[in-house]
Structure 1
Amino acid sequence: MSNLRRFGVETMQIIKGGHSGTASQHRTDTFTGTVWADAVMGQSDGVAITSVSFSPGARTNWHRHEAGQILVVTSGSGHIYDRDGTGGPITVGDVVFIPPDEEHWHGAGPDTFMVHLAISLKHNEWLEPVTDEQYRDAIAGAGA
């Protein structure tokens, strides 16, 4: 059984035009800074794919995903960390797998833009914002 069949995908799907046809969304409630999101594939059988563009210093709130998340950095560079401080800098071509229910955040570096594909598996839960202090401490700890 293929991995996609686990999520109820039984036949090939082609989504024309590289996105779902929805307008870009300026994300404000669950992000800090300027962030735009474009649905590549809206929620379908427990899988959603979104292209997320972060301005310098922009980041997600703390959050977790029921079945995990996969990030593919397509432009620029940024950071990802969990509550224990595990993580680090990420850049073009990097692929990150976040296990189920791991609380984490990700976003652009302080002086860089970043775009990534976020492949979210099942439902996610948004938590509190990452404070400026948490962001600065994580970046400083990475030697960026």
Structure 2
Amino acid sequence: MEIGVREVSKTALTGAAIEILGFLNVILYRASKGYIILYRFRPQSCLTLNLACDDESAPNTVILPYVKERGDYVVLGDLRIEEAGFSPSRILDASQIEVEVDGSLFEAERVGLGGPRERSELLARVRKQVSWTDRHEIDERGQFPIARLRKL
């Protein structure tokens, strides 16, 4: 139980740090007439998936966050994507997967994520690789690996 409390505290502290930095950014930016920015926040990296599926009733194109790990693209999801009408199982059902990252378009294949233990270990590894703001996004949104894609 104590570990969970520590994680919540870290997330709350990180969230507070982001709020304070954002506030200080605004003050310095306005005071310097646009010349000084204390910290440049960068959005979480996202990719676009174009899926060829038999079922045309659901969306075939979706934009999702990802982390690059060992040359593969680990696609992250959370509960909001299902609320938006996209099921992660569509990635598994797709006969063809096309990925667009940073203006580059390529075909990809699915690589197994393994069981719950392997997925937890993968999430722990990718969390260590990302910036502290991305870690906060992963924790705050409850993101988890939904697919691992390898460029063909």
TM range (shorter): under 0.3
Greater helix fraction, Structure 1 or Structure 2: 2
Structure whose CA Rg is larger:
2
Greater strand fraction, Structure 1 or Structure 2: 1
Question: What is the TM-score normalised by the length of structure 2?
Answer: 0.25
